[in-house]
Structure 1
């Protein structure tokens, strides 16, 4: 038995089947799995360890992007403003940063370009420069609290996460709070229509994680999502994540967060856990089976 329960608000007999399916999928992760899925328009929901704390890795770039765009909406920042990226802004050589790799002497980029590098390419340098522009990670957490999102904490930079494997645990989220944030974002409650549309487009066009949430869904399914991944040391991987909003055939929207933590499974198996969970909830609420 897994050390946590599956909770559901779907019809009883079908929810039992879905819960059993998700438990079976989670066992293959050989680690901790937390997930929550909610149909935004109806409130139908299912979750596994919804209040657990899971290291976000680059998933935290989604709330950072929202915080940046709130500042744009308030006129404190501008998408067109130029920001200098210096060599001392670069994350470590083992961390992902196309900006660093293509501009080894530094570069000047617009806020909009940095936002796209961070949220679409998952560039660590872009993330840290935007965190600095916001005044530090604590200000992102403060922004989340202003949205009544209490189960997500942004505490460190990408560069700091590169110094030790355990630092990443300081940036954590619960599946329930992440789905709540996805819902707030989708409903356009706290960002302007233009900012919401921009970030949705960036998250939909991202090339990362094709075998996670999107992996087993029908071709052409719209998924606006953000992945997060840690490195693997001695067969142990601390974070393999994907969170996002899936558009169902009905036009309704499924907010889904899946976190796989502290896993001994292979890369393919961890990603397959996320893909299988997405397929299971899609099959439940789409009205058609994913092939």
Structure 2
């Protein structure tokens, strides 16, 4: 995962009433839509991005960039099923000027369900967001009595993955370790550890087991990829070798891949992500999880508690959640082929002081925006959602 940087501060924008109308201007000033620096830096980036292919129930096994992404094209039909019109308008306006291809979904879970979003039904790369489904699959097996939380899992150097894996040093220095299912769940979700996640995936029965869970629970347009090693090497145009799990060897090997091959591999992945999911499907899955429809009460409390302690992405959506609200989430961060960053995501559940819950998903498939700009947009969405609570 990429390290977080500080988000740009929000400053109200002076808006001409003649342009937006008196009510519109008041809304923009009221919600502190986005910093002036963000708007000025992105306003020249508006353009039309080619649409994403429709979900394919059988993920492609091929993994290969088109021109750098620009602004968002408005959907042909608004995706708004009962949400406040003001919220819909504000999110759409900022989404349209944000460079790249981004999907957004917001769903009110309690007290009058509604959903709204942009590109909400299209597939976007999940990256580490998909760790959520591995965790749910494992806990479903716990509920069935097939796995126990105190069950020990052996992890050796041959099980190491790639990129962010804090557990790696312990595995290497000891020649292998044993960790409980519960400890690995916490490590995979809270620290977004790729090796911990792959170890849980192996224990669950592999990618097919997760796909079966998603299908059995009827979670819709959510795919699960082949695991971190095959996924990340395929995106980079590489065939996986276990030596890539050590030190900076993956980066060194990736740097040796001809640029044309890397771009082709990344382009194929972005066009039809093998780990793709739609923002709508994600927020609906989060809503069902929150309502206790996917796991037992004990497992539901456990995973929601773990997600509330997520340490990655503190300046993504979480930084826009107002004081007095609770928030739990899972981030995802993909590879970069400059100037394009991919799979910069955050999904989560916001809970108002009165107990009303909202599920949110922001999936930045590809973007040229800086990290502070990405975080500013995410904070805007969570802050504006909270502002429209009970309106």
Q: Is 213-222 or 136-145 further displaced after alignment?
A: 213-222
Aligned to 1:7: 79
Aligned mates of 1:3, 1:38 — CA distance in 2: 20
Match of 1:145 among 215, 218, 224: 215
Aligned to 1:101: 169
Aligned to 1:67: 137
After superposition, give the CA deviation of every residue in 1:44-76 in whole Å (9 maximum; x if it has no partner). Answer: 221111110000000001111111000001000
Match of 1:176 among 262, 272, 280: 280
Q: State the Cα distance separating 1:101 from its structure 2 match.
A: 2.7
1:77 aligns with 2:181: no
Aligned mates of 1:286, 1:124 — CA distance in 2: 39
Match of 2:330 among 213, 226, 236: 226
Q: State the Cα distance separating 1:106 from its structure 2 match.
A: 2.0
RMSD (CA atoms): 1.7
Determine helix, strand or coil for the equivalent of 2:366. strand
Q: State the Cα distance separating 1:221 from its structure 2 match.
A: 2.5
Q: TM-score, normalised by structure 1?
A: 0.92
Structure 1 stretches lacking a partner, 5+ long:
none
Match of 1:21 among 74, 80, 90: 90
Aligned mates of 1:183, 1:111 — CA distance in 2: 25
- 1:279/1:153 CA distance change after superposition, 3 Å: same
Aligned mates of 1:256, 1:85 — CA distance in 2: 34
**Aligned residues, how many?**
282
Structure 2 matches for 1:232-243, cutoff 5 A? Answer: 232-243=336-347
| Structure with the bigger percentage of strand | 1
Aligned to 2:26: none
Asked whether the 8 Å contact 2:320–2:378 carries over to 1, the reply is no
Asked whether the 8 Å contact 1:28–1:273 carries over to 2, the reply is no
Aligned to 1:128: 198
Aligned to 1:194: 298
Q: State the Cα distance separating 1:28 from its structure 2 match.
A: 4.2
Q: State the Cα distance separating 1:35 from its structure 2 match.
A: 1.2
Aligned mates of 2:188, 2:343 — CA distance in 1: 18
Q: TM-score, normalised by structure 2?
A: 0.69
After superposition, give the CA deviation of every residue in 1:166-198 in whole Å (9 maximum; x if it has no partner). Answer: 458210110111011101110111211111111
Structure 2 stretches lacking a partner, 5+ long:
1-71, 236-265
Aligned mates of 1:100, 1:27 — CA distance in 2: 41
Q: Over alpha carbons, which structure has the higher Rg?
A: 2
The structure 1 segments of at least 4 consecutive aligned residues displaced by more than 4 Å after TM superposition are: none
Aligned mates of 2:234, 2:94 — CA distance in 1: 30
1:112 aligns with 2:216: no
Asked whether the 8 Å contact 2:214–2:220 carries over to 1, the reply is yes
Q: State the Cα distance separating 1:232 from its structure 2 match.
A: 2.2
Aligned mates of 1:250, 1:97 — CA distance in 2: 38
Determine helix, strand or coil for the equivalent of 1:170. coil
Aligned mates of 2:329, 2:184 — CA distance in 1: 18
Q: Is 63-72 or 227-236 further displaced after alignment?
A: 227-236
Asked whether the 8 Å contact 2:333–2:345 carries over to 1, the reply is yes
Asked whether the 8 Å contact 1:241–1:274 carries over to 2, the reply is no
Asked whether the 8 Å contact 1:249–1:286 carries over to 2, the reply is no
Asked whether the 8 Å contact 2:279–2:363 carries over to 1, the reply is yes
- 1:286/1:101 CA distance change after superposition, 3 Å: farther
Q: State the Cα distance separating 1:140 from its structure 2 match.
A: 0.6
Structure 2 matches for 1:28-47, cutoff 5 A? Answer: 28-41=97-110, 42-47=112-117
Determine helix, strand or coil for the equivalent of 1:162. helix
Aligned mates of 2:154, 2:364 — CA distance in 1: 36
